[in-house]
Structure 1
Amino acid sequence: MKNFFQTRNLVRTAMTAAIYGALTIAISSLSYGPIQLRFTEIMVLLAFIDYGYIPGLVLGCVIANIFSPMGLVDMAFGSIATLISVFLISKTKNLLMATIYPSIVNGIVIALELHFILNLPLLLSFGEVALGEFIVVTCLGYPIFRTILKNTKLVKSLKFY
């Protein structure tokens, strides 16, 4: 943990947050709504490479959710969902399994948020959110990260410590 506060790691955390937040906002028409295609969610798989990405990913989600139609509620609950997802991803040894966590966790947390705040049907909301996460993280992110993981120099350069 002491190495986390090295300048290089703090810059990497800030860059991760900025990229996640800015790109999510830039494609906001796809990033917010019932079926969310947040292409930046592919970045959550960075936690599979190194748990040091967790703070930057969560902070990036907070930044992105400032502009969510749900505002403060989404800042809180969306960020909690991201925190749980990336924590589980960081503890997983199988990449394919790691890609499933965001679909399940975000599906549950965001569906509950949409149900209680907007009175949307719970199961439909779960299905829509989980589908969006599955398309982005599993269908797109899995092949991208399989390719990344084959490049040992790239993986080594992505490590925090």
Structure 2
Amino acid sequence: MKKEQTVRYMTTAAMIAALYTALTLLFAPFGFGPIQCRISEALVILPYFTPAAIPGVTIGCFLGNLFAGAVPMDVVFGTLASLLGAIGSYALRRHRFWVCVPPIVSNTLIVPWVLKIAYGAPELVPYLMVTVGIGEVIAIGGLGTVLLLGLEKYPMLFRR
């Protein structure tokens, strides 16, 4: 990678991480707990536009969880769920409306176990999968799709 490309990649990743962290903290009351809708998760569609979004979303999730006071298991496995979702979104970047699926699935499968084990949520894991899944569909499937469609109108933002 040329120096200019490296700087652009790192800057883009840093901006996405900062935005994800800020949104997570700003909307924290909605983003944690058995019934959650993390607005910042809409950003996991960004790998559709640039691979720099993968470390950006991952670092942003890590910092958002850390600064919000999440327990270590949540910081690690919540971040892992977002990383897997972002990688999956990047892998499906040629299929615009499928980029939302991997992060919805990874969070729906991983986060309920974190809620149950790390936080001792009294609800059953299948129930938590439904509630977390609904929040993910709203945040990623709804807001993420709107973000994707809006950003497609400005291709110069994510010049490759």
TM-score, length of structure 1 as denominator length? 0.87
Q: Is the 8 A contact 1:4 1:52 kept in 2?
A: no
Unaligned runs of 5+ in 2: none
Give a deviation string over 1:76-104, Cα, whole Å, max 9, x none. Answer: 00010011000000011222221122221
> What percentage of residue pairs aligned between the two structures are identical?
25
1:111 equivalent in structure 2: 112
2:11 equivalent in structure 1: 11
Question: Is the partner of 1:36 in helix, strand or coil?
Answer: coil
Q: CA deviation at 1:148?
A: 2.3
Give a deviation string over 1:7-31, Cα, whole Å, max 9, x none. Answer: 2322221111111101211111111
Stretch of structure 1 that moved more, 31-40 or 84-93: 31-40
Q: CA deviation at 1:5?
A: 6.6
Q: CA deviation at 1:43?
A: 0.8
CA–CA distance in structure 2, aligned partners of residues 144 and 55 of structure 1? 19
Q: CA deviation at 1:71?
A: 1.9
Q: Is the 8 A contact 1:95 1:142 kept in 2?
A: no
Structure 1 or 2: larger helix share? 1
2:62 equivalent in structure 1: 62
Aligned positions of 1:29-108 closer than 5 A:
29-68=29-68, 70-92=70-92, 93-108=94-109
Give a deviation string over 1:50-109, Cα, whole Å, max 9, x none. Answer: 122100110000001114454211110001001100000001122222112222110100
1:127 equivalent in structure 2: 130
CA–CA distance in structure 2, aligned partners of residues 69 and 62 of structure 1? 11
Pair 1:10–1:129, CA change in 2 (3 A): same
Stretch of structure 1 that moved more, 21-30 or 62-71: 62-71
Pair 1:61–1:4, CA change in 2 (3 A): farther
What code does the residue aligned with 1:138 have? G
Q: CA deviation at 1:144?
A: 2.9
Give a deviation string over 1:27-58, Cα, whole Å, max 9, x none. Answer: 11111111221111111111111122100110
Q: How large is the RMSD of aligned CA atoms in angstroms?
A: 1.9
TM-score, length of structure 2 as denominator length? 0.88
1:145 equivalent in structure 2: 148
What code does the residue aligned with 1:15 have? M
Pair 1:123–1:16, CA change in 2 (3 A): same
What code does the residue aligned with 1:64 have? G
Q: How many residues align?
A: 157
Unaligned runs of 5+ in 1: none
CA–CA distance in structure 2, aligned partners of residues 4 and 135 of structure 1? 37
